Amino acid sequence: MAEVTADHIHAVAHDDHGHDDHGHMTVEENNENMKLGMWLYLASEIVIFSIMIVGYIVFRVNEPEVVSEVHHTLGVGLVTINTFILLASSYFMVMGLRAMQKGDRQGMLRWIGATALGGIIFVGGQYIEYSELAHLGITMGYDSATTWSTFGMRFYAPTAFHGAHVIVGVIWALIIMKRGSEGRYDNNPIGIEMFGLYWHFVDIVWIMLFTLIYLV
Amino acid sequence: MAEVTHEIAEHTHDDHAHSDTVVVLGREITVNGGIYTVVFGALGILTILEVLFAEVLNSMIAGAPDAGFLAAIKSFVLLGLAIVKSSLVIWFYMHLKDDNKILAVVFILPLLIAALSVMFVLSIPPTGYGV
């Protein structure tokens, strides 16, 4: 990264064109562009998740007995704990960014590490839940012998797709930790903020899935 | 160089995001993590309320003559709580509160389209998609 100084930031802030003398983007401009790009990506993710959620809602409205039966059998204990873990990991994430913005690299590494751990525990909990569902015969495949099998596809599509996002997030968190330990974010923590936007989005999707699939 | 980090941080986030003292319901609270910790507490409490409300309503719905009405109330309240929780995360954790409002438009527009699509799909009678 090019050497950036406070004087440089102030100087370009007074430039009528918003660029430095060489026409390059400033750190601030670059950060804003990266954030806009990430929000656009998240907007596209909303569309994908919406399709899956709509598929579930249509099934939920038309087959309420099947969904009630699955709810009654599974309960909400495990998934509630999992939800708390994901909410906590979102908190750890934002605290990691806060630590880095305060110049506390070690603090950032601890918080982001806790975020990754939360993601791993969440995926582990999801694995346990899937195992229980498979034991009940609820799989992705269709089996005319059981009415529950029709629930499987609508349930696994959004939750497994979300789980895949959590796994990607955990890998991303580990990369952030490696790069952070090398001092890559000491001058500009935008990389951590990008990851934060992604991770919080994953958290929001789960907040909606938890309510729609497990509670409503 | 550490000063530059703080300079950038100040350009992107308000100082109160880094303060441990926040005002909640008119009362000043000092807690490690400030507003982020308060929001986390709120998310936890709302989640507990959600689960308790769902469990209570489920027990009331079973065998009740006005089960349809109770189920509608349950869905409405639970979705409302989920929207409040999501908004807290977006507003405070994703910093939409402090960021350029064009980012809010980028995020809210597909949400509105998705919400309209859901209502449209649900308005089609079951025979419309062969269930």
Domains and CATH numbers, chain A: 30-215 (1.20.120.80)
Closest of B38, B15, B43, B36 to residue B25, by C-alpha = B38
Q: Do A207 and B86 touch (CB under 8 A)?
A: yes
Nearest CA in chain A to B36: A91
**pLDDT tens digits, residue range A22-54?**
667 888 888 999 999 999 999 999 989 988 988
Nearest CA in chain B to A54: B118
**What ipTM does this complex have?**
0.84
**Residues B82, A117: Cα–Cα separation, whole Å:** 24
3-state DSSP helix/strand/coil % of chain B, to nearest 5: 75, 5, 20
| Other beta carbons within 10 Å of B17 | 20
**Residues A136, A216: Cα–Cα separation, whole Å:** 21
Residuewise pLDDT in 10s, chain B (131 residues)? 444 444 444 444 555 567 777 877 778 888 787 889 999 999 999 999 999 999 998 888 877 788 788 888 999 999 999 999 999 999 999 998 888 888 888 888 888 888 888 788 777 766 655 54
Out of A46, A76, A80, closest to residue B110 by CB? A46
Domain boundaries, chain B: 2-97
Judge contact between B81 and A211, C-beta under 8 A: yes
Judge contact between A166 and A201, C-beta under 8 A: no
* pTM of the complete model: 0.84
**Residues A202, A196: Cα–Cα separation, whole Å:** 10
Contacts of A103 in chain B (CB under 8 A): 2, 5-6
